[in-house]
Structure 1
Amino acid sequence: MRSEQGLRFSVWSSSIAFILACCAPLFAESPLSSQGLFKEGQRFYAMGDYARAAASFTRNVQETPSDPGSLLWGGFSYMAASQYDSAIAVFQSIPGASGIVFLKAQVGLGMALSAQRKYTEANIRLIQALSLNETAFRSSGYYQLQKNFWEMGNIEKSDEYAGKLLLEFPHALETRLLAKELSAPAQGLARVPPAITNATFGVQVGAFGDRANAKRLLAELRVRYHHVEIREKTGNDKKTVYAVVVGDFDVREKAAQFAQEKLGERFKAYIIIEK
């Protein structure tokens, strides 16, 4: 059972392949598909040859581009082959009008982003899928969300989704996996939550000798982000430097993830600072 602090025990040797086993597309066939290529892809998938499965489904999509079933199978095949960028591209191409297929694609997209440690974006996709109130894949969404929030250091939200999984799906495969994680102390695999500290962290994206230049960057960034500020520092030459800092995070890892996902393309020389 959990402690009052929400301590989570986890067997992280359980790979994303287990989640794929829970979430692989369940179609027996796809009526719009060229059945030869579609069944070939299914056969390769069942054999564990995920790269060849993805290739078959991709060729099938080229012949029948309006078939969301082949797109979904292709996305999960790329996932199983650890080709996450390709999986993300395929899942994103599935239109919202495709109903349950779109829901499954959103969960698959969330998992692919999670595998790349892009937890914030992954959680948005997963929560969006859960908001559609479909039972399919709901247990997988809960499981991935509790895992992502744990990795982000948000124990309260992690416990919230773990509780939903245990309550709504007591017999699901994901619930059994979570139960295994909770029993991990017997195996010496206790997972320690992030250390609690009073420090906060931000991402310094620029430093200027002229405050006016810092204010211009500040105004630009405040259009897109919260918690943007100018912090005065003293340089090695004893002159005042005006640093522009984005974000206010309770752990360094969150600041680093934010910088990589949101700022990295523009600000190549950002640094994580303790406030």
Structure 2
Amino acid sequence: MHFCMDWRSMKFDWNRARAFLVTAEEGSLSAAASALGMTQPTLGRQVAALEEELGVLLFDRVGRGLTLTANGLKLVDHVRAMGEAASHVSMTASGQSTTIEGTVRITATEVASAYVLPAMIAGLRAAHPGIEIELVATNNLRDLRRREADIAIRGVRPTDPQLIARKLSQETACLYASKGYLAVHGPFETPGALAQAQFVGFEENDQFLEGLNAQGLTVFEHQFPVRTSAHLVQWQMVRQGLGIGVMVSRIGDADPLVCRATPWLPAFEFETWLVAHREVNTSRRVRLVFDWLVKEFKNLPAVA
């Protein structure tokens, strides 16, 4: 469902809101009036008009000063954000603001979050220190339509027409084992030899098991004596010699503790997609991060 703002029903007066905010920050009508360059009665009327408009009391009088009521406390942060936004609008219109600021939330797999994105984010932060990144490392898909993230890095192309997607790369993954494990239990030079192998699996292991068998291997559930819900934990178990596991080729091939357990087996192929809501076309900070990631992924070395 597309959310559409009902502009006709919005009658909020920014001048009244500004009067309320400055009064809250200065602590008295006289100090606020001085800060705004207006008379105290005029400022008092604006604050009173806002209270009447909202139907709530915003200040309690304490001696000569004012303190925020519970309703005033609820409102002040929202109005402060409006003030900051108004300031940015004014600065941008006058050509004073060339920086892009704010938080962008990225969701990516555990592996991409741990091994690929840190260097990219470091470069982004160095070039654009006003951008703050919140990285959600999960193998579960987050709903961009519900704003659970601004940008997602996924292994499948989205089908939702409200999402914008850019293919980043064609990746491969292979089966790996520690050199110590292969020295004792290997080599696994044929599919049949894998019948004696142990694998490190996942909590929801059906997809991994089906993928192995789809490659012409004959692997059974009892060959997964150790399982975990986290891919990064699975990888550490593989590195420690608990069995065979799967990893993105560019990461597994670079790890000195492991080697490909089945070099004769064709690599598993998958795509990497950068996905964002259509808001990427209207949000400067989301667009900046989106374009930065596209550029950085292009610069990754090709997989063997």
- Range into which the TM-score falls when normalised by the shorter chain: under 0.3
Between structure 1 and structure 2, the one with the greater Rg is 2
Structure 1 length normalisation: TM-score?
0.25
- Relative contact order higher in (CA < 8 Å, ≥ 6 apart): 2
Structure with more strand by fraction? 2
- TM-score, normalized by length of structure 2? 0.23
